[in-house]
Amino acid sequence: MALYVHKYGGSSVADAAKIVNVARRLADVYDAGHQIVTVVSAMGDTTDELIDLARTVSNEPDPRELDLLLSTGELVSITLLSMALRNLGYDAISLSGPQAGIRTDSAYGRARISEVDPERVRRELAEGRLVIVAGFQGLAPDEDITTLGRGGSDTTAVALAAALQADRCDIYTDVAGIYTADPRVVGKAAKLAAVGYEEMLELAAAGAKMHPRSIELGAVYNVPIYVASSFTDAPGTLIHNASDDEPMEDRIKVTGIAYQTNVAKVTVCGVADQPGVAAALFEPLASAGISVDTIVQNTSADRMTTDISFTVAAADLPRALREMAGLQATLGAGQVISDHTLASVSVVGSGMQNTPGYASRMFRILADGGINIDMITTSEIRISCIISQDKAHEAVRLLHEGFALDEAG
């Protein structure tokens, strides 16, 4: 007997027929002799609709009230799923996040799980019940309801799986798994049978989109996460500790190609080449909540001044430029130049660690495609190039082919 946590996203429980479909899938797992805890999201676009509804009565809905309102979406789906299971003759029980022991901090709209007390869920399982838990919600220390941030049900599911020491956490969605590249961009993208947690975080845009915090939790508590479609029985992707059981040679391969559009670059020219300048530049951005990705500082030829370039999300560019304008006078910096028409493309793979040649191969592929590289950054498992946005899709396709990831046939 195994203990599984399943999670079904909004599109998998969007209407009555789909809820009954999920109920049947759960019944099969139960009939095979397993224990099962199921986390569900709100039906279809319910959460969006509730947010719109709140805005019809208030321009800036009170965060506490908004979280309590949003939590109702998941209460609808858990109760309906439990009723559908009971209708099929199974003993099911639905539990809200607080009833299931999900405790959070008090940050409305983006609460973090502080603890899961699995006692009630364990008791229900011991009674032989199928337990259905509301995703995306929890209880703050002051006993108010919080939500975990959009898409947070994945994180509820992995947190529960960790607390219950479940054998696996299955995330069922409308995409069949994680691919070697975004399947909408690369027709020959291949579904990955397995991927490491860190690679998964880097590949976030390739296929099923998951709440990043769920992957981080999975990595910390070593919860194997299986991502698959709720509509087919096609095999999905296992996100796990890749080094565990991967054939040795597979670990030296590139896993996939990731990309991100709407990247903006800011260059501050002629800043003094002396201690404290970078801190003075980036501290205001951090306090303004603007996250900076790539940073390049050139060594100055004359040892007097240097140029610093960095990238931000294009949506943050106006605010970043405002911060820079405020600093220009104090830092004695020269011109500030910006470009908001950029993208980043990345080659991802844990096998790249300590293996030379990946970067040069990437640059060669882009060069042969006539694609100019603006900036370059690397991490242990990723090499990223900033390029022109209108070349992004072409670059992804060329790299996918160049690193021999195109699906055969």
Show the binding pattern over residues 146-165: x = contacts ligand ASP (CB under 6 A), - = does not. ----xxxx------------
Q: Which is nearer to Mg ion, 10 or 349 (CB)?
A: 10
Q: Which is nearer to Mg ion, 10 or 218 (CB)?
A: 10
Could you tell me the smallest distance in angstroms from the CB atom of residue 156 to Mg ion?
12
CB of 153 to Mg ion, least distance (A): 7
Question: Quick check: helix, strand or coil at residue 193?
Answer: coil
For residue 136, the partner it binds in Mg ion, ligand ASP, none, with Cβ less than 5 to 8 A by kind, is ligand ASP
DSSP for 238-258, written as a single string: EEE-TTTT--GGGGGS--EEE
Instruction: Name the token pair of 312.
Output: 């931000």
- Residue 29 Cβ, how far from Mg ion at the closest point, in Å? 23
Nearest to 405 by CA among 208, 199, 257: 257
Is residue 214 a contact point for ligand ASP (CB under 6 A)?
no
According to DSSP, the β-strands at 225-229 and 168-173 are: parallel
- Least separation in angstroms between residue 94's CB and ligand ASP is 16
> Are 189 and 182 within 8 A, CB to CB?
yes
Residue 99 CB, shortest distance to ligand ASP, in Å, is 18
DSSP 230: S
Q: How far apart are CA 73 and CA 198, in angstroms?
A: 31
The site partner of 251 among Mg ion, ligand ASP, none (C-beta below 5 to 8 Å per kind) is none
Identify each DSSP E strand in 22-166 by its residue range.
35-40, 92-95, 102-104, 113-116, 130-134, 137-139, 145-147
CA dihedral sign, ordered 297, 299, 302, 304: positive
Q: Considering only residues 1 through 40, tell me which ones interact with Mg ion, judged by CB under 5 A.
A: 10
CA distance 108 to 66: 8
Contact call for residue 136 and ligand ASP (CB under 6 A):
yes
Binding partner of 153, given ligand ASP, Mg ion, none, CB within 5-8 angstroms per partner class: ligand ASP
322 in Cβ contact with 292 (< 8 Å):
no
| 172 sits near ligand ASP (criterion: CB under 6 A) | no
Coil vs helix vs strand at 227: strand
Query: Which residues, numbered 5-44, are part of the site for ligand ASP (CB under 6 A)?
Result: 9-10, 41-42
Q: Which residue is nearest to Mg ion (CB)?
A: 10
Binding partner of 259, given Mg ion, ligand ASP, none, CB within 5-8 angstroms per partner class: none
Rank residues 46 and 309 by Cβ distance to ligand ASP and give the closer one: 46
* Nearest CB to ligand ASP, comparing residues 145 and 347: 145
C-beta of 148: minimal distance to ligand ASP in Å? Answer: 8
Q: Which is nearer to Mg ion, 64 or 209 (CB)?
A: 209
Supply 204's token pair.
């976030």
The amino acid at 232: T
* 135 lines the binding site for Mg ion (CB under 5 A): no
Where are the alpha helices (H) located in 332-386, listed in sequence order? 358-368
Please report how close the Cβ of residue 13 comes to Mg ion at its closest, in angstroms. 10
Number of amino acids touching ligand ASP (CB under 6 A): 12
Torsion on CA atoms 199, 202, 206, 212, rounded to nearest 10: 100
In angstroms, what is the minimal distance from the CB of 157 to ligand ASP?
Answer: 9
For residue 405, the one-letter residue type is L
Residue 87 Cα distances to 22, 42, 43, 80, 132, angstroms:
13, 21, 19, 10, 15
The minimum distance between CB 42 and ligand ASP, in angstroms, equals: 4
Positions of E strands within 63-216: 92-95, 102-104, 113-116, 130-134, 137-139, 145-147, 168-173, 194-196
Stated length of the chain:
409
Contact letters for ligand ASP, residues 72-101 (x by CB under 6 A):
-x----------------------------
DSSP 195-224: EEHHHHHHTTTSBS---HHHHHHHHHHT--
Give me the least distance between CB of 97 and ligand ASP, in Å please.
Answer: 11
Kindly identify the residues of this chain, within the stretch 40-59, that bind Mg ion according to CB under 5 A.
41
**Where do contacts with Mg ion occur on this chain (CB under 5 A)?**
10, 41
**Where do contacts with ligand ASP occur on this chain (CB under 6 A)?**
9-10, 41-42, 47, 73, 135-136, 150-153
